[in-house]
Amino acid sequence: MDRTSQLEALKRELEKLLSVLREDEGCNWLNHFERSLEKTCWFLENGYEQSQLNDLSSSIRSVYGGMGSFNDYVPPQSTWGTNRFSNRVWETALDLQVTGKR
């Protein structure tokens, strides 16, 4: 899969996750993922270098793990759907950084 296809996959997953997060008016993670989507769209429209994709990947994944992280977030409606979207965002962000097979 080429990097543009990976960015398009990330965009789709971020959009799915954001559709759930936007329903929670008090969600502390909304701005982080909205900025990540904006940057993803910008790269798709304007081009990118691998170092920029590495930075985007690291930025997205930086909110996962540890106490008080996005992994601890429980939305008011459905934790299952959010966790599924959350995992796909993490995985597609990691794909941008990985240069070989995993």
The model's pTM:
0.87
pLDDT in tens, 16-52: 999 989 988 889 999 999 999 999 999 999 999 999 9
> Do 8 and 91 form a contact (C-beta atoms < 8 A)?
no
Contact residues for 60 (Cβ-Cβ < 8 A; gap 6+)? 10, 33, 36, 89, 90, 93
Q: What's the mean per-residue pLDDT of the chain?
A: 88
Domain edges within the chain: 3-97
pLDDT at residue 95 greater than cutoff 60: yes
